[in-house]
């Protein structure tokens, strides 16, 4: 494994431990996320469009619901 890949893996492991220690949750549990995008396969501009569409849909839903 290259030094760069090793560093990325170490950072990912460190983030995982932090989330687990702070929130007592598994960060891989998809239920915690509203939108998951594979940025290795989806172009950046498409990701931006999907995020903005998701935000607009969320805001529209929030406006329709009584507070």
pLDDT of residue 45: 97
pLDDT at residue 8 is higher than 90:
yes
Residues 7 and 24 in one domain: yes
Residues 41 and 56 in one domain: yes
Q: What is the pTM for the complete model shown?
A: 0.59
pLDDT of residue 61: 87
Residues 14 and 40 in one domain: no
- Tell me the three state secondary structure of residue 22: helix
pLDDT of residue 67: 64
Residues 38 and 61 in one domain: yes
In the chain, how many domains are there? 2
Joined tokens for residue 21: 């220690």
User: Nearest Cα to 15, choosing from 4, 5, 26?
Assistant: 26
pLDDT in tens, 13-56: 999 999 999 989 898 888 888 899 999 999 999 999 999 999 99
Tokens 């996320």 -> residue: 33
Domain that holds residue 40: 34-67
Residues 54 and 66 in one domain: yes
């Amino acid at each position: 494994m290259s030094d760069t890949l090793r560093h990325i893996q170490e950072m990912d492991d460190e983030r995982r431990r932090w989330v687990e220690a702070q929130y007592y949750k598994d960060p891989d549990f998809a239920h915690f996320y509203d939108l998951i995008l594979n940025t290795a396969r989806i172009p950046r501009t498409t990701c931006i469009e999907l995020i903005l569409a998701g935000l607009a849909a969320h805001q529209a839903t929030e406006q329709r619901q009584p507070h």
